[in-house]
């Protein structure tokens, strides 16, 4: 409430004509009074501008000009401006129409609006903006407090022209944080604005009406601006697809990708209103037919709303950003530990249903080693197809093929005893030239009775058609009404040889952690799409193989290859859930959280039983800080596909991230029991022991990491081992192992940073300088790709401070703090950066803040950059007080 303490008393006469009846509202842009117009005998609203704005003659004249232009617009959704007048002592005020009702801000404070109510308000605002824009008038401050909801259900936009008066001084002196939440990226950067700025703000308002919260609200001005410039809108998952598309398109950070005219947005809002208002069955069926193409459009819109403004290398000119960020401070000296992980969720025991089925390994008749991977891939696809056969009221539960392999179950009795399966499918595959013969037996494990056999042959070697026919016949034996046509989901046309290569690749990818398997999978998948260029499933699986390559060595090239193949898969067949799951995973590791969620949700729309999509949603929720939602999604994913080694691996890492180290270690040990030769799980187990902070566990961690390297040398294993040595002050060993890691992958700036710390501790300044020169370009490249990476910003600040570039160092430091203000490691490095820039007072403040937030003092005592700070008389943390 601005200047309310100096409010005019009830009954006072203003401008010889207006009698004050009371205060209607107040905010950063002034006080609004309800008044009686004695001359025209009507109730009006008088808005008095803040004293600060009245004092600027030029700004006030510009405002009067714009307000006069706005007053010429006659439209039922635009608040009437009757005139602009002054008091005898020179205070400007606006005479406006008075409307009984609530502001939209007051309505939202009571809770989110219903979908149809929100759409109706947005349509009326859009109608008013269309009229204003047709007169070349841009509002520039569309927000809930500037939208009035009258008692007659009409919507009025008020305060045209006032946005011109908001600048850095009024933002701080008048406290207009509310307006900042709705500014467009171009406004935040001080660039030219046009009608597309109002479209952005209306998109924010629509999202807030539906969610009850502003999608860019982060609590502080710097964080809000960082979000607007750099992050996708939040809180949109769960909204109707039609409205998600409208909001994401209106919130494109690039004005050229946004709606270009309000009439375009209005048309989409009216179409959505008609669609949402009609509850008929025909309407639902029509929507179902349109879902896929619409979702592809939304994917594009979400991408544009997620692309960072910073990544386009635009330099801020508006004073809000440096002013707000300047309140925050500087950043990161050197993160001492690197523990890359792959994680997700907890396994639960297999449930028992009416039909509990195990598909046993097939016999490879002829023992041709070239057919072994093909046979294993066929087992996986058959298990997957059977898992989808929940038809009617008949319960069917298929034990994951990975669990069969882990326990080495090969006969019906073992399946009953070890897995509780009441049915098993055993079989054999034979190849004679191009002909393929698949023989399957359905067996009751309790009495070992043969329920029935399925024998299918395809002379042309069409494995896709062959397995669909086999599953259809098996389903018939179990009284499930399934046809082969219902099962066909290979995506586009399928040449038999291409599908055979696809199955072979699946066999290799069952153990992608084994050296060479992924390369072989990629080779046969490339052969598949060369044989059949329209094989959508092949392109999708190739994208997943490249994603797994990135997971193992973090080379950005693999993500680019993956995305290209996935786009091709979706272009050929937009109904493949697996393609959207992999795209979601790629967006997730790229920091595009909302876009990742969008992909996972779309995969679940196509396949509600897709465990991989559920896992992806769990990870995306976790990265967004929604830990409870993440845990629920992890558990649901386990229920969909329990008991494979990766489930325990993923949940072990989830527990590690949550600081639940005993649970994490138990889960990872379980994964090792399943796959005792799994290098990846040993890597994660070693990293978890180190993360636990238990010095007594470091020898066990070292043993696990060395075992991982023994099974399959990878750069993450070397990097983690080097970090462990760094923690133990074994600097020479740390440097040697870091160099091994960098020979495998030289693109990870954190590994280079650990090597730099080791050289600095060894006193080798020449090597340290060389390493620092390698880190800076890597950090700059990473910031372009992932502008939200607070560590990269803070480390670049430290490097530039060491190199004597304090101005740029402070900019990156301020950005890092705005992105991650509570991270103790970042606060430590902020302290170091301030120290190197010569500001001891700020350095001490950030250092003590980091220690209070949990950074171990012991990790600082051997850091040469911290020694002077720790010895400073002004440093009090951990010292006995004078009263003791």
If asked whether residues 203 and 287 sit together in one domain, one would say yes
- Taking Cα atoms as reference points, which of 510, 215, 554, 192 lies closest to residue 378? 510
Residue 747 forms part of a structural domain: no
User: Is 839 a member of any domain?
Assistant: yes
| Residue 864 belongs to a domain | yes
Q: Are residues 253 and 374 in the same domain?
A: no
Domain boundary among the residues 471, 488, 505 is at: 488
| Judgement on whether residues 48 and 130 belong to the same structural domain of the protein | no
pLDDT band at 119 (very low <50, low <70, confident <90, very high): very high
pLDDT in tens, 581-590: 999 888 888 8
- Mean pLDDT within 51-79: 67
Mean pLDDT (the chain, rounded)? 78
- Range of 73's domain? 4-97
Burial level of 408, CB count in 10 A (0-12/13-18/19+)? exposed
Give the separation between CA 661 and CA 666, rounded to whole angstroms: 9
- Least confident window among 89-93, 353-357, 494-498, 564-568: 353-357
Does residue 112 belong to any structural domain of this protein?
Answer: yes
* pLDDT confidence of residue 30: 61
Helix/strand/coil percentages in the chain, nearest 5? 60, 10, 30
Q: Return d(Cα 310, Cα 753) in angstroms, integer.
A: 24
Average pLDDT on 377-397 reads 61
Spell out the residues 6+ positions from residue 445 whose beta carbon is closer than 8 angstroms to its own.
412, 413, 415, 416, 421, 422, 423, 424
pLDDT of residue 115: 92
CA torsion 508-509-514-515 (nearest 10°) is: 70
- Give the per-residue pLDDT at 315: 41
Of 175-184, 525-534, 822-831, 866-875, give the lowest mean pLDDT range: 175-184
Q: What is the CATH number of the domain that holds 87?
A: 3.30.200.20
In a domain, 559, yes or no: no
* Inside any domain, residue 671: no
Residues 254 and 149 grouped into a single domain: yes
Tell me: do 71 and 163 sit in the same domain. Answer: no
Higher pLDDT, 20 or 66: 20
Question: For residue 178, what pLDDT is reported?
Answer: 43
pLDDT value at residue 2: 37
**What ranges make up the beta strands (E) of 367-504?**
396-398, 423-432, 435-444, 449-458
* pLDDT value of position 775: 92
pLDDT for 176 beyond 50: no
User: Is 728 within the bounds of a domain?
Assistant: no
Residue 53, pLDDT score = 53
- Residues above pLDDT 90, as percent of the chain: 19
CA 203 to each of CA 200, 208, 223: distance values in angstroms, whole numbers, following the listed order: 5, 9, 20
Q: What is the mean pLDDT of residues 168-177?
A: 36
Number of domains in the chain: 4
Please check whether residues 229 and 299 belong to one and the same domain: yes
Rounded to whole angstroms, the Cα distance separating 709 from 691 reads 19
Q: Which CATH number covers residue 267?
A: 1.10.510.10
* CA distance linking residue 54 with residue 74, whole number of Å: 27
Q: Do 822 and 861 belong together in one domain?
A: yes
Q: Over the stretch 594-616, which tens digit does the pLDDT of each residue have?
A: 778 888 888 888 888 788 888 88
Q: Are residues 370 and 475 in the same domain?
A: yes
Distance CA 306, CA 595 (A): 7
Q: Is the pTM of this model over 0.75?
A: no
How confident is the model over 47-64, as a mean pLDDT? 61
Q: Is residue 30 located within the same domain as residue 151?
A: no
What is the per-residue pLDDT for 492? 46
**Nearest C-alpha neighbor of 406 from the set 642, 640, 700, 711:** 642
Q: 374 vs 148, 502, 504, 506, 539, CA distance in Å?
A: 66, 8, 4, 8, 18
Give yes or no: residues 42 and 145 share one domain: no
Mention every residue, 6+ apart, whose C-beta is less than 8 A from residue 764.
Answer: none
Q: To the nearest whole percent, how much of the chain has pLDDT over 70?
A: 79
How large is the angle between the packed helices 241-250 and 262-277, nearest 10 degrees? 170
Which of 72, 97, 122 is the last residue before a domain boundary? 97
Contact status, residue 262 vs residue 201, Cβ threshold 8 Å: no
Examine the domain organization and report whether 121 and 225 are in the same domain. yes
pLDDT score of 397: 64
What mean pLDDT is predicted for residues 9-26? 83
For 717-772, the pLDDT digits (tens) are 999 999 899 888 899 999 999 999 999 888 889 999 999 999 998 999 999 999 98
């Amino acid at each position: 409430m601005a200047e309310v303490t100096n409010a005019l008393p009830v009954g006072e006469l203003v401008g010889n004509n207006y009698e004050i009846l009371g205060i209607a509202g107040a905010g950063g842009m002034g006080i609004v009074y309800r008044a009686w117009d004695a001359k025209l005998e009507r109730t009006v609203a008088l808005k008095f501008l803040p004293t600060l704005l009245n004092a600027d003659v030029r700004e006030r004249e510009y405002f009067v000009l714009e307000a006069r232009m706005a007053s010429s617009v006659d439209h039922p959704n635009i608040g009437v401006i009757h005139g602009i007048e002054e008091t005898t002592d020179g205070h400007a005020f606006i005479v406006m129409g008075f409307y009984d009702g609530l502001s939209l801000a007051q309505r939202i404070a009571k809770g989110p609006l219903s979908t149809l109510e929100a759409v109706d308000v947005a349509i009326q605002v859009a109608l008013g903006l269309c009229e204003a824009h047709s007169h070349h008038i841009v509002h520039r401050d569309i927000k809930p407090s500037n939208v009035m909801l009258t008692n007659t259900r009409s919507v009025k936009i008020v305060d045209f022209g006032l946005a011109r008066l908001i600048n850095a001084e009024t933002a701080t002196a008048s406290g207009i944080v509310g307006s900042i939440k709705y500014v467009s990226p171009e406004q935040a950067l001080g660039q030219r604005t046009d009608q597309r700025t109002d479209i952005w703000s209306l998109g924010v308002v629509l999202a807030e009406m539906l969610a009850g919260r502003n999608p860019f609200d982060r609590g502080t001005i710097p964080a809000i601006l960082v979000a607007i410039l750099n992050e996708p809108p939040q809180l949109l998952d769960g909204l109707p697809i039609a409205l998600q598309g409208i909001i994401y398109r209106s919130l494109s950070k690039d004005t050229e990708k946004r709606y270009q005219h309000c009439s375009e947005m209005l048309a989409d809002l009216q179409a959505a209103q008609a669609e949402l208002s009609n509850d008929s069955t025909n309407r639902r069926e029509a929507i179902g037919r349109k879902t896929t193409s619409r979702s592809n459009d939304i994917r594009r819109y979400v991408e544009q709303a997620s692309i960072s403004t910073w990544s386009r290398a635009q330099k801020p000119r508006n004073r809000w950003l440096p002013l707000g960020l300047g309140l925050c401070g500087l950043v990161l000296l050197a993160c001492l530990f690197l523990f890359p992980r792959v994680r997700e969720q907890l396994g639960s025991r297999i449930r028992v249903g009416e039909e509990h089925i195990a598909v046993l390994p097939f016999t490879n008749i002829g023992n041709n080693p070239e057919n072994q991977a093909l046979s294993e891939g066929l087992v996986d696809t058959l298990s997957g197809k059977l898992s989808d056969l929940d038809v009617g009221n008949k319960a069917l539960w298929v034990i994951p093929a990975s669990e069969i392999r882990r326990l080495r179950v090969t006969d019906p009795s073992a399946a009953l005893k070890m897995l509780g399966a009441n049915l098993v499918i055993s079989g054999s595959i034979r190849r004679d030239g191009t002909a393929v013969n698949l023989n399957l037996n359905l067996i009751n494990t309790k009495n070992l009775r043969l329920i029935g056999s399925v024998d299918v042959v395809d002379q042309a070697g069409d494995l896709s058609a062959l397995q669909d026919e086999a599953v259809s016949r098996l389903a018939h034996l179990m009284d499930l009404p399934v046809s082969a046509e219902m099962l066909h989901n290979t995506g586009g046309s399928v040449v038999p040889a291409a599908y055979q290569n696809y199955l072979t690749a699946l066999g290799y990818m069952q153990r992608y952690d084994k050296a060479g398997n992924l390369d072989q999978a990629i080779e046969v998948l490339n052969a598949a799409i060369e044989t059949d260029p329209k094989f959508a499933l092949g392109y999708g699986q190739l994208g997943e193989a490249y994603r797994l390559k990135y997971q193992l060595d973090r080379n950005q090239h693999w993500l680019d290859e993956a995305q290209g193949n996935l786009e091709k898969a979706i272009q050929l067949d937009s109904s493949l859930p697996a393609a959207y799951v992999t795209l979601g995973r790629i967006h997730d590791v790229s920091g595009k959280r909302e876009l990742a969620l969008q992909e996972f949700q779309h995969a679940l729309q196509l396949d509600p039983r897709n465990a991989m999509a559920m896992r992806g949603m769990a990870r995306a929720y976790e990265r967004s800080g929604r830990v409870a939602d993440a845990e629920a999604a992890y558990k649901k994913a386990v229920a969909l596909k329990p008991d494979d080694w990766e489930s325990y691996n993923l949940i072990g890492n989830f527990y590690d991230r949550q600081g639940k180290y005993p649970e994490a270690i138990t889960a990872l040990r379980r994964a090792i029991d399943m796959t005792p030769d799994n290098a990846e799980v040993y890597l994660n187990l070693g990293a978890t022991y180190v993360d636990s902070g238990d010095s007594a566990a470091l020898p066990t961690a070292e043993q696990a990491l060395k075992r991982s390297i023994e099974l399959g040398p990878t750069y993450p294993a070397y990097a983690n081992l080097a970090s462990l040595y760094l923690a133990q002050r074994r600097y020479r060993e740390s440097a040697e192992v870091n160099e091994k890691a960098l020979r495998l992958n030289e693109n990870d700036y954190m590994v280079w940073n650990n090597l730099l710390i080791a050289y600095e501790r060894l006193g080798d300044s020449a090597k340290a300088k060389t390493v620092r020169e390698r880190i800076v370009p890597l950090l700059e490249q990473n910031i372009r790709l992932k502008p939200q990476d607070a560590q990269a910003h803070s480390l670049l600040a430290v490097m530039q401070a060491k190199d004597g570039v304090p101005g740029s160092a402070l900019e990156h430091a301020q950005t890092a703090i705005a992105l991650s203000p509570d991270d103790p490691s970042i606060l430590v490095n902020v302290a170091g950066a301030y120290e190197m820039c010569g500001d001891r007072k700020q350095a001490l403040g950030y250092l003590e803040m980091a220690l209070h937030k949990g950074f171990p003092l012991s990790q600082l005592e051997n850091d040469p950059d911290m020694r002077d700070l720790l010895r400073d008389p002004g440093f009090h943390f951990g010292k006995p007080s004078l009263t003791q």
